[in-house]
């Protein structure tokens, strides 16, 4: 049984169909990569899977349990089990790094203040930020902020992580430190779905690339078959264009 399964998800926003009948599955320990042009609906799809947007149609199953019929309270519990990483970090600006991680443990998992802080420090150490625990978001670099947000998600012991272009808002020299953390997670067996433009990174770590355009998953396959020169896929074309834009990847 897959850890996470999305069945025929559709979502309209502002009268426009943004996600159009998308299905996908994630098996235990699998990393899938979502690529596609800007405005294709990647963020919206990830947020639908997380029920931050309730899908208009379709359902999401986590370990076989469908979120479709859950009430408010259970949806909150469902969300806890899926970690979400945002493009612009979304750290809580008024809390130090350790409290950014600890607050959810206290409020949602009902940890004691001490236990929450202890766990928070351990998670920060895991992403290489043990010495930054006391600093506030405004005092951290972009790469450090994103690592704090990863630590914050990991502290909830999620079964799946959804990453929405986690490195797009970062200066080039900071991308590496975040990708390293994600690669470590992948090696550690975390189940992940990641939207990204880092094709080289994706190619190394994933077995399946999903190409999303105009709300639909139009192509899927291993990097080797999808991105091979002369494969004539839209994905390969898109990646070539990206590579051109970014110089060499």
Partner 1 sequence: MMIESAFYQALWPALFKGFKLSLALILPSAAGGLVLGVLVGLIRGTEQPRWLFRPCQAYVSLFRGTALAVQLFICYYGLPELGLLLKPLCLEFGLPEWLWRLCYPSAYGASVLVFILCSGAYQSEYIRGAILSIKRGQFLAARALGFSRWQSFSAVILPQALRLAWPGCSNEVIYLIKYSSLAYLLSARELTGAAFSVGSFHFRYTESFFCAALFYLSLVSLATWLFSRLERAWAVPGFGRS
Ligand X SMILES: Nc1ncnc2c1ncn2[C@@H]1O[C@H](COP(=O)(O)OP(=O)(O)OP(=O)(O)O)[C@@H](O)[C@H]1O
Q: How far is CA 61 from the centre of its chain?
A: 17
Tell me whether residue 43 or residue 233 sits nearer to Mg ion (CB atom): 43
Contacting residue, 23, 27, 29, 39, with ligand X by CB under 6 A: 39
Per rule CB under 8 A, is residue 110 in the interface with partner 1? Answer: no
Torsion region of 122: left, alpha or beta (phi above 0 gives left; psi -120 to 50 gives alpha): alpha
Per rule CB under 6 A, is residue 137 in the interface with ligand X? Answer: no
The whole-angstrom separation of Cα 53 and Cα 49 is 8
Token output for 135: 């600093």
Instruction: Write the DSSP symbol of residue 167.
Output: T
Contacting residue, 139, 157, 171, 184, with partner 1 by CB under 8 A: 139
Contacting residue, 88, 157, 184, 237, with partner 1 by CB under 8 A: 88
Q: 93 vs 89, 90, 139, 149, CA distance in Å?
A: 11, 8, 10, 12
Token output for 21: 């009948």
Dump the DSSP string for 14-38.
TTEEEEEEEEEEE-TT-EEEEE--T
Per rule CB under 5 A, is residue 43 in the interface with Mg ion? Answer: yes
# residues contacting partner 1 (CB under 8 A): 33
Tell me whether residue 123 or residue 165 sits nearer to ligand X (CB atom): 165
Per rule CB under 6 A, is residue 41 in the interface with ligand X? Answer: yes
Per rule CB under 8 A, is residue 127 in the interface with partner 1? Answer: no
Chain residues 1-20 in contact with ligand X, contact rule CB under 6 A: 13-14, 16, 18
The binding site for Mg ion (CB under 5 A) comprises 43
The binding site for ligand X (CB under 6 A) comprises 13-14, 16, 18, 38-44, 165
């Amino acid at each position: 049984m897959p850890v996470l399964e999305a069945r025929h998800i559709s979502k309209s926003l502002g009268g426009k169909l943004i996600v159009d009948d998308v299905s996908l599955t994630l098996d235990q320990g699998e990393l899938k990569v979502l690529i596609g042009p800007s405005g294709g609906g990647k963020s919206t799809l990830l947020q639908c899977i997380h029920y931050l947007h309730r899908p208009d149609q379709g359902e999401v199953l986590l370990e076989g349990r469908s979120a479709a019929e859950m009430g408010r309270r259970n949806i909150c519990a469902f969300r806890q089990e899926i970690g979400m990483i945002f493009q612009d970090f979304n750290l809580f600006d008024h809390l130090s790094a350790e409290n950014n991680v600890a607050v959810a443990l206290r409020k949602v998992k009902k940890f004691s203040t001490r236990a929450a802080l202890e766990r928070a420090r351990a998670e920060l150490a895991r992403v290489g930020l043990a010495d930054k625990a006391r600093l506030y978001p405004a005092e951290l670099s972009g790469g450090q902020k994103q690592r704090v947000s990863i630590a914050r998600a990991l502290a909830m012991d999620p079964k799946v992580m959804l990453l929405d272009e986690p490195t797009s808002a970062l200066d080039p020299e900071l991308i590496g430190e975040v990708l390293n953390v994600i690669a470590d997670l992948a090696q550690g067996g975390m189940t992940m779905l990641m939207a990204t433009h880092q094709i080289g990174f994706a190619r190394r770590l994933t077995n399946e690339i999903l190409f999303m355009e105009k709300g639909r998953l139009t192509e899927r396959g291993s990097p080797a078959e999808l991105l091979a020169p002369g494969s004539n896929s839209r994905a390969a074309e898109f990646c070539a264009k990206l590579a051109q834009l970014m110089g060499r990847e």
